[in-house]
Structure 1
Amino acid sequence: MAYKKKLPLDPVTVTIESLSHDGRGISHVNGKVVFIDEALPGESVDFVYTDSRRDYAEGKVVKLHDRNPHRVDPACPYFGSCGGCSFQHVDDAEQIQFKEDLLREQFRRIGKVEIPQIWEALTGPHWGYRTKARMGVKWVAKKGRVLVGFRERRNPYLAEIDACKVMHPIVGEKLTLLGDMIAGLTIKDKIPQIEVAIGDSECVLAFRVLEMPTTEDKQRMREFAHRHQISICLQPKGPDSIVPLDGEPEVIPSYALPEFGVKFNFRPAMFTQVNYDINRQMIARALAALELTKADRVLDLFCGLGNFTLPLATRAGYVVGIEGDTPLVNHARENARLNRLDNVEFHVADLTKDVRDQPWSQQKFTKVLLDPSRAGASEVLHNFKHWRPERIVYVSCNPSTLARDAGILVNELGYQLVKAGVMDMFPQTAHVESIALFVKP
């Protein structure tokens, strides 16, 4: 804590020059860059330091002198203290513009590639969209209450919030009720988190428990679940240990893609997209861009539980899905059976390693879809020399690694970038989800 005492205490007045990749205002003080929360370009602000390192400093606005025309008043009373959102002070249209500008800049600077055409942004509900989350839980004896929600901004402590406007209302409007219920349990201090999994018509909350609840605890949880039409499960160990409360049926959340006639079952801890509206639009855009026919053999890399693979199988001749997580692959196979799709196969493979000796990798594919994690897909791209796909759609949750990989595809492998664009999967945050189309000239 002695380090913190060295921070200047007096507010400093600066003009904000630009925005960082995570949506913070950028300014300079005595030649050092300062990243300032909730500050927008062109604004004159007073800020106080919250951290100072050798190469940069951080701060927060304490007084606003000039307002950027795109500034709006945050809709959530916890904005600024809760770390779940970082962009509520920016109007919706400008949030999209920021993300498109960032995408262009990253492609140009990191990938040395210009985006010839920006796809129209995919947008959906700005509030109540989040159907998947891992919420923290903490018994705070001094306050005599259990906190449920997200971490404070740039702080490991849970924020003291009573509701969350970006979460689906079935959970987002019940955080206080959830906390009150947990506060009445004997294990109120033995529940560190809740995995939220909301399907089209189901809501499952998986409570991570460091100690098993008593019979009375279980009854209290059961009554809460029935009252609010949700399912509560217990997770005593890893994700595979999630089970319903004694005597309760197992509720399997699911979501459908009506346009493609497919439905997905998933387990609470499995990765799914958090925004169903954008997910449906994203899949439709990706498949349209691939221009599929029954003559196509398609490779879906980082396929997860088959979010793209199964819709692909309804349009293409044959689809191969590859994923490194064995439980996800098993579930993807089960979903393929559920949807009676027999022109699809799944394989487990670590796509950060050399996969050239694997039988599926020695086949040829006319089209490829990639949807990697934040780390991107650079290790697997060298295989494209063998596969030689005509069209590639790359879906990304990290514009910097997409830009890096675009540079490889264009400058090393000879693909042409046709278009790229953003998809507003996480409104009110600076998180950028994007999509790009590459073709072989």
Structure 2
Amino acid sequence: MHQYHTPSAREPRGRGAIVASVMTKPRRGDILELVIDDLAFGGEGVGRVSGYVVFVRGAVPGDRVRATLVDARSRFGRAVIESIETPSPDRVEPPCPYFGRCGGCRLQHVAYPAQLAFKEKQVRDCLERIGGLGAFELRPILPAPEPYGYRNKMEFTITSRAGPAHLSQATHGGRGLADPAHLSQATHGGRGLADPAHLSQATHGGRGLADPAPTVVGLHQADRYDVVLDIERCLLQSEAMNALLDAFRREIRARALSVYEADAGLLRFVSLREGHRTGEAMVNIVATTPDVEALAPLAAELARRVPATASIVLNVNAKKASVAVGTEEHLLLGRDHIRASLGGLSFQVSANSFFQTNAAQAERLFAVVEGACSLSGDETVLDLYAGTGAISLLLARRCRRVYGIEVAAAAVADAVRNARTNGIANCTFLAGEVRHVLPSLMRDGVRAEVVVADPPRAGFHPKALHALAALGPDRLVYVSCNPATLARDLGALVAGGYRLEWVQPVDMFPQTPHIEAVARLRRAP
């Protein structure tokens, strides 16, 4: 092991001093040797120096690393890896060449079983620390059947702000791209990736990055919204969707279609969707004007090259806000929706409607929800935050009646259409905020034995939680995408007379820190 010199009180520490673990709070610029013992909520590695917590992006529990402290707060700091002295047994080579620069996946360098253990621990820690909960069963996490290729929807930015998208991992000493912008400058001839415009021209076929880049279709660089990586192949979507992405990129370049920059230009985003179990594809082009004449030939060529394309639509967003949702929609080719199958039901998915992005794993999650409801066939069920009605429609086959409440009117329209498509007549969908609609239902005499809730990341609004407590269902099934707000709300429900029986973590998004969980509560006698 390296012997590090620790400056005494009489020796001023210079920037870049190597600091051993027997020290007080380190300073910005210090080089630390850290043993990573945990992963934080967002996927950063956690190391400690005499009790001082240091977060290290790209580090894996079990790693021993040398890292430079770039941010020193009073209670914690952040460091970037200079070298991995001893890799963790759970460290793997990321299969994606964009890993570390792309802002999407954060955990590709962590073996999948270790990802699952981290996420399960994250749920437990939040429930115990935030919710003050202890007497419950934490069930083993449900792994995803496919850790790659699981997303049926991907949204790409169209721009000329290209990033260094094609650097191989070998360029970085085989260590992968945990945080390439801050890797040792010596690795890159003294410049580092913080200044990509000065990378060796040989890296880019002799052209360098100073040359004008062609139109790119890609994802934002991590922590750099102004830079977009030209993604040729995303491992989170299917190969069929990657072929469609490639065809789209080639066609817009060949046709020299303008890109929105500095309040001028046509193309802004493209969203690709694939119907689960149907394979139907949708292309949603977001542009600044309804220029159907310019885009119709593009749509025709895409459908010719990728026959599975069943829908190509144009959404118009003329505002400066960089959002991939339009104020008006025009059909360019085919239908205004694609079809998907989930849990034995058929769904029509339009361009801007919500549908589970990991449908295969969603079927497993919904099976957990259905089991947690313990339906006999006579119950009335409330589905809060119902979205496009997937849970409502699946449960409707097992109960007397379902009321679904959803704030987005477009989603409610989709839910009604999906109920009609599947011949389901015992579902009623209501548009509005749960905190307003739920008390109104109660005033109308509606009572429910079972409530299913799948709120957004912020969790329940306090007034909605109060209305739920007043309703007092016998069984409550809570689906959450945020362990912190889940823990907060479960703590309040337990304090209000419910008993938390079990929590089931479900990995919906492998290679990312995100985790879903299903909790079952029962009103205490």
Q: TM-score, normalised by structure 2?
A: 0.77
Q: 1:9 to 1:367 in 2, by over 3 A?
A: same
1:60 pairs, out of 72, 80, 89, with: 80
Q: 1:153 to 1:11 in 2, by over 3 A?
A: farther
2:239 pairs, out of 153, 158, 169, with: 169
- For residue 367 of structure 1, what is the aligned residue in structure 2? 450
Q: 1:334 to 1:44 in 2, by over 3 A?
A: same
- For residue 398 of structure 1, what is the aligned residue in structure 2? 482
Provide the rounded CA distance (Å) in 2 between the counterparts of 1:173 and 1:90: 28
Is the radius of gyration larger for structure 1 or structure 2? 2
CA deviation string 1:335-386 (max 9, x = no partner): 1112111111011121255842445774210001001110111422222333
Name the amino acid aligned to 1:202: E
Over aligned residues, Cα RMSD in angstroms?
Answer: 2.5
**1:2-41 paired onto structure 2 within 5 Å:** 11-28=31-48, 33-41=53-61
Please tell me whether residue 127 in structure 1 is matched to residue 152 in structure 2.
no
- CA positional deviation for 1:143: 4.1
Q: 1:360 to 1:395 in 2, by over 3 A?
A: farther
**1:232-247 paired onto structure 2 within 5 Å:** 232-237=312-317, 238-239=325-326, 241-245=328-332
What SS does the corresponding residue of 2:137 show, helix, strand or coil?
coil
- CA positional deviation for 1:176: 4.3
Contact 2:37 2:45 survives alignment (8 Å): yes
- Gaps of at least 5 residues in structure 1 are none
- CA positional deviation for 1:418: 1.1
Provide the rounded CA distance (Å) in 2 between the counterparts of 1:206 and 1:78: 24
Provide the rounded CA distance (Å) in 2 between the counterparts of 1:256 and 1:140: 38
- Gaps of at least 5 residues in structure 2 are 1-14, 17-26, 163-210, 261-265, 318-324
Contact 2:147 2:511 survives alignment (8 Å): yes
What SS does the corresponding residue of 1:356 show, helix, strand or coil?
helix
Please tell me whether residue 89 in structure 1 is matched to residue 109 in structure 2.
yes
- CA positional deviation for 1:265: 0.9
Name the amino acid aligned to 2:121: D
Provide the rounded CA distance (Å) in 2 between the counterparts of 1:135 and 1:361: 45
1:71 pairs, out of 71, 91, 94, with: 91
CA deviation string 1:14-43 (max 9, x = no partner): 222321111101234687543211102232
2:220 pairs, out of 151, 156, 172, with: 151
Name the amino acid aligned to 1:89: H
1:407 pairs, out of 473, 476, 491, with: 491
Provide the rounded CA distance (Å) in 2 between the counterparts of 1:361 and 1:80: 54
Provide the rounded CA distance (Å) in 1 between the counterparts of 2:111 and 2:457: 26
Name the amino acid aligned to 1:440: R
- In percent, how many aligned pairs have the same letter? 30
- CA positional deviation for 1:222: 2.1
Contact 1:128 1:168 survives alignment (8 Å): yes
Name the amino acid aligned to 2:229: A
Name the amino acid aligned to 1:389: P
2:251 pairs, out of 173, 181, 184, with: 181
- For residue 252 of structure 1, what is the aligned residue in structure 2? 337
State the aligned residue count: 432
Name the amino acid aligned to 1:252: H
- For residue 190 of structure 2, what is the aligned residue in structure 1? none
Contact 1:100 1:421 survives alignment (8 Å): no
Q: 1:290 to 1:431 in 2, by over 3 A?
A: same
- CA positional deviation for 1:134: 2.3
- For residue 300 of structure 2, what is the aligned residue in structure 1? 222
Name the amino acid aligned to 1:232: I
- For residue 268 of structure 2, what is the aligned residue in structure 1? 192
What SS does the corresponding residue of 2:221 show, helix, strand or coil?
coil
Provide the rounded CA distance (Å) in 2 between the counterparts of 1:26 and 1:316: 47
- CA positional deviation for 1:294: 1.7
What SS does the corresponding residue of 1:416 show, helix, strand or coil?
strand
Provide the rounded CA distance (Å) in 1 between the counterparts of 2:244 and 2:429: 39
Contact 2:450 2:475 survives alignment (8 Å): yes
What SS does the corresponding residue of 1:187 show, helix, strand or coil?
coil
Q: 1:106 to 1:341 in 2, by over 3 A?
A: same
What SS does the corresponding residue of 1:148 show, helix, strand or coil?
strand
- For residue 160 of structure 1, what is the aligned residue in structure 2? 230
